[in-house]
Amino acid sequence: MPTKAAFEQTDLFGQPIPHPEEAPQAPLQALRVTPAHTGRKLSPAQQSFNKLLSRIHNVTVMLQALDERVHKFQGPHQQAMAALRSQADGQLKAMLLLLHGHLQTRHVSKAQRRDLSQMVADLLLQTEHLQDPELLALFDLYYSKKEQAQWAQDEAEDIQALRDLVQATFAADEQPDLPDDPDALMALLMQRIALNKGPGEGQAQPTRRKRRKNTRQQQAAEQAEQELLDAKTTLRTLYRQLASALHPDRESDPEERTRKTELMSQANAAYERQDLATLLKLQLQTTALDAEAISRMADEKLHSMGTLLKQQLATLEAELQQSELRASHALGFQVSAKHADHVIERELQTQQDELRHHLKLLQADLDRLRDPAEIKDWIKTQRRMAKQQAALEEWIDMGPW
């Protein structure tokens, strides 16, 4: 016989959904209108209002869950990767010093010496971030001052180009203080791309429309403008009701005055950012507003409230997209708010396993390089692998099509 767990449902993150009697009711969800409140079938305006509340609640939960997941995994993963990278850096340095040491002996041929010199030069480029005195000394041996100066100039130009690209995502009158770190600039660029939409994106570009259609468009625009004005009037009314109920100067009890001061601060911030959902939640905490009161509102007022909720939902969805980009940058793979813990753990474990495998290969190379008798075979192996890699890259560039 199936157990209770067999019928247990999970949410977007793979977590069990509590049974109705166990599920805590979110404040915003408490405003949903049901037929029990109206005594009849819900009107389209009431149904739309309920759907918007649910979507805002869901996106808010996803935002919070994503932030919690990043906070949970980022620190331990970065610590593990930093320790592994430190080992890899140590092995790479040891390999460079061994290769350079072999170049100072006579047991390698002229052709092998040329190959080893190129290997050292290539590997040195992977150690620039270390700023190690011994490796910096090797840089001066294998690269001229002119070459190093050119690299520094190229890097500065690349960073400036990236800064210019990020700057272009801001308005002309904005002068942000941009970071110099390329990774930070790239993360900021992804955030700005997610936040900014191109001119006219998502808007119809009518061409050769009939006059009748243009007239309908104009009427629709006028109606939308009126709905926005009505929505702002509703928002202002809700805010004034809250301000009247929460005014701390009218409260004689010190503890209650402190509580109302905090709530009033939240109401001021919510009104400034046109956050109807927060104002509704505050009203739910401080006044008699509830689902039954919502059900008695005229459809016109619910419709105007819906206009504000749609705007807030769009803002939250854009914020969720930005949070996913930030999480992807922090964790090193494309993160979705719908990812469950085990998905993130698997991806992070894959990153660590790949680095551990790289460490094993480095260690195997080091073991061979410490034996002078192995150096010639090792050079042949590296030469063969380089040819195979070049052939693969050429095939990819040509494409099988």
Higher-pLDDT residue of 263 and 207 is 263
Task: Answer yes or no: is pLDDT of 359 > 60.
Answer: yes
- For residue 400, being part of any structural domain is answered with no
**97 falls within a domain:** yes
pLDDT at 15: 39
Q: How many folded domains does the chain comprise? A: 1
- Identify the band that residue 400 occupies on the pLDDT scale cut at 50, 70 and 90: low
In a domain, 77, yes or no: yes
Please give the biggest Cα pair distance in the chain: 97
Q: Does pLDDT of 136 surpass 60?
A: yes
Position 9 in a domain: no
Distances (CA, A) of 298 to 40, 230, 233, 302, 307: 15, 13, 15, 6, 15
Residue numbers of the domain that contains 134: 73-166+180-196+331-388
| pLDDT for position 22 | 38
Contacts of 122 (CB under 8 A, 6+ apart): none
Q: Sign of the C-alpha dihedral, residues 392, 394, 395, 397?
A: positive
Q: Is residue 274 part of a domain?
A: no
pTM of the model: 0.67
pLDDT greater than 50 at residue 244:
yes
Q: Which range among 18-22, 73-77, 159-163, 383-387 has the greatest average pLDDT?
A: 73-77
Q: Give the residue-averaged pLDDT of 389-401.
A: 75
Whether 190 is covered by a domain: the verdict is yes
Instruction: Round to whole Å and give the CA distance between 152 and 154.
Output: 6
Domain assignment present for 86: yes
Q: Which residue has the higher pLDDT, 383 or 40?
A: 383
Give the pLDDT band (50/70/90) at residue 199: very low
Q: Has residue 215 been placed in a domain?
A: no
User: Where do runs of H (alpha helix) occur along 196-290?
Assistant: 211-246, 254-272, 276-286
